[in-house]
Structure formats: structure tokens, C-alpha cells
Amino acid sequence: MSKRLQAMRGTRDILPGEVEAWQALEDAARRFSARYGYREIRTPYFEATELFARGVGESTDIVRKEMYTFPDRKGRSLTLRPEGTAGVARALIEAGLTQPGMLHRVYYLGPMFRYDRPQAGRYRQFHQWGAEVVGSASPWADVETILLLVDLLGTMGLAGLTVKLNSVGDATCRPAFQQRIREILGPRRAELCPDCQERLDKNPLRVFDCKVPSCQEIVHHLPPMLDSLCDACRAHLEQVKRGLEAAGARYEIDPGLVRGLDYYARTAYEVHHGQLGAQSALGGGGRYDGLIHLLGGADVPAVGFSMGVERTLLALEEEGKTPRPESAGVFLARGAGLGDEALRLARELRRRFQVYLDLEERGLGAQLKQADRLGARLAVILGEDEVKAGELTLKDLATGEQRRVPRAGIEEALAAALAAAGGTGR
């Protein structure tokens, strides 16, 4: 017997019965993105490795440890996208859409890939919804992206969300702060983990993001970046805070929040859901004013976020708010020998409704049991008596009530019955 093949570690199948919750979340993400004026962008699943090395940052764990990188047949180094922002930036630059004065609101939705240790809500192929505002330096752009993320999560039914906010400075004030961290931690270099020793040389802010307990204890006593902000960065943060307060969005300042990518500047934020414990961050982002220029475009500002789909669905499950599909389908049951007529009728109805048609020659009782398993709300019964009378039987599978309706009026009868049941059948 040949070996049974299985999904690779860190990946999973999303089967019928579960995928409907994914679809509901994805539909809500698209709907809210459109309400905020964002349009969808779709970028390739793989890019030149250099894009992520330059854009994400060579000192990040993503680039150093987690990317799926491989040569193609011509020896070019390619990488499965570990995040979405760098690809979006590359696409806009390549299309000539990053000139000064242009403003773009875009969103993306799809899989990302990182070689990481699988755990609850974290996979090696994972999915993100993200949104970007390219071309605006306004603090209101920062506020808008935060509100977009929070409003989507709130609408899905999540309560107890916490917005954590910080500023990581910019090219004016950050270099001095980085040098200060090097001077403080230099004498204690040997006490740091190997990764933080390397971070100390390349990007000292990364030590704030270390999860090693011994490093966290050392970092806990470091001065916060907030104490070293220049006047412009401090003013920007204050305007972001005022904007959130004006919109009625609660937040808390987290001086240790730096996010996991090197391209952030000024605003950094995360949205947490307390029910998930250590993995409570559902999404986050911030400002990355230098990224477009770093990747070869004009020197234009930008801000954005990404949200983990798997973690969000896990949070919804924890609160008993997992989206469920509407029980609005129509099941067409037929009597023996009426297959041809059932196919014609099903095709007519499918122009307007979701219609299940039994493919086997089973009895009427077995067909109705199948309708119940599929979650159909209504059944249309096509039997010999109905055919002779030019009628159909319409049955409410939730209440058991049924009635005869004219064959020519079945669409209107279905529409009315589904509307009364709170569904559309589409």
C-alpha cells in the first residue's frame, strides 16, 4: 500500500462547513474596505527575494529565519511573500502610481508564507487582510487605518478589543535613540541572546520585540523611545491620539511596541483581543514613510496594517461569534422518473436562487433528509401529481408547513418565503 499523503506541517485544509466562516469574514473585510474608500489590489504570491530583504529589513526575524526562498530554473532567487506591504509598494511603484500628490487607498486579502513554529492561530501558510494609504503624511490617515481595523473586528462581534499605540520616531530622532540603546546595552552584550546581540548592531529597536525572558527583563529597564521623540514626531502622535479620541476609539500607550518590520516610522499600533492570551494580537501596522523611496519610488509617505484571518476566526470562536451561513438554500426533490424535468427546473431556479439537486435516484424521504443535512431552508417537491396539475409543492423545512403553488409562480413564491425566513437563497 502506498504511503498516505498529508498536508504539510503548518498548513491546513479549510473544508466545507468551516469555509463559510472564512467567506463571511472575507466578505465583511471587502465590504468595510469599500465603505472606507479602499480598492482591492492583488499581487503575486512570490517576488524577488531582494524586495523583502530591502523592504522588510535584513535584521528582522522574517528575513533572517522565516522566509521560503528558492531559486527558479534560471537561478534567480524568489521568495513566497511573508507579508503584503512590500509587494503592494512594489506594484504601485512599477505602475507609476507613487508620484507626489497621488493618494491611493488599497487593500489586499490572501495567503502569506513564513517558516515559523506552528501554534494556535499561527500557520506557515496563513492569511491576512491588509489596507494601505499611500501618499498621505496626515495623522488622520493613521487614525483612519486604525478605525478601519477596529470597526471590522467590532462589527464581527468581538468585544474587549484593546488598541495599543506607540511612536518609533523617524530619521531625525531615532538614530540618536538607537545609539543610546547601544551605549546602555553594550556593557551587557553577553547577557543578551545571540539574536539580540546581532540586533544591537543592525537595529537596536528590535531588542524591544524579543520574546526571550532574560532579554525581556533587560529591555524592561530601558528608556522608552517616547522620551526621545523630536517635536515633529511628538506632534504627530498627539494628533493621532486626538483623532482616536474624537472618533470615540479607546487606546492605550505601549512604549515597548515596535512591531516586527524595519520599515515602520512614527506611528506603530496593534489591536489585541484578551481572550487569546499570549497570541492576543489580531492585527497591527503603522507608518512607513521611507519604504516607497527605499524600493525605488518617489519619496512619498504611507501607512497601513494587516490582520490575521486565522487569529481573528479563533477569537470569534472563543466568544461564540463564529459566522454561520444563512439557512437559505432551496432543495429540489423529485419523484422517480422525473430527472429530466428536475434538471430543467433546477437550471431555471439557479438563475436566481441557490438550489441543491439530489444526484442519486433516492426516495423522497431520503432526499429530504439530505436537504436537512445540507442546511436548506425550503424544499421544492416535484412529483407526478404536481406535474399533472402544473404545480409544485413548497415545503418549509424548519416548520414542516407545505403548500401547493403554480409551476409558473414558483420563483415569486420562493422569493417571498425566503424573505419571510430572513434569507435570500443566493
**Mean pLDDT, contiguous 10-residue spans, the chain (426 residues):** 88 92 95 96 98 85 91 97 96 95 96 90 93 97 97 91 94 91 91 89 85 88 92 97 96 86 86 76 94 94 96 92 75 93 94 91 91 90 92 93 94 91 60
pLDDT in tens, 281-323: 999 999 999 899 999 999 999 999 999 999 999 999 988 998 8
Could you report the per-residue pLDDT of 354-398, keeping only the tens digit for each?
999 988 889 999 999 999 888 899 999 999 999 999 999 999 998
Looking at the DSSP bridge assignments, the partners of residue 330 are 355, 378
Selected from 3.30.930.10, 1.10.260.30, 3.40.50.300, 3.40.50.1000, the CATH number assigned to the domain covering 19-173+229-318 reads: 3.30.930.10
Indicate whether this model's pTM tops 0.85: yes
Q: What percent of the chain has pLDDT over 90?
A: 72
Domain range summary for the chain, segments of one domain joined by +: 19-173+229-318, 330-421
pLDDT of residue 374: 86
Instruction: State the pLDDT at residue 327.
Output: 55
What gap in Å lies between CA 311 and CA 166, rounded to an integer? Answer: 22
Give the type of residue at 397: L
Burial of 159 (0-12, 13-18, 19+ CB in 10 A): exposed
pLDDT at 55: 87
Helices (H), 203-326: 213-219, 231-246, 291-294, 309-318
Q: Which CATH class is domain 330-421?
A: alpha beta
Q: What is the pLDDT of residue 121?
A: 77
Cα(242)–Cα(251) distance, integer angstroms: 11
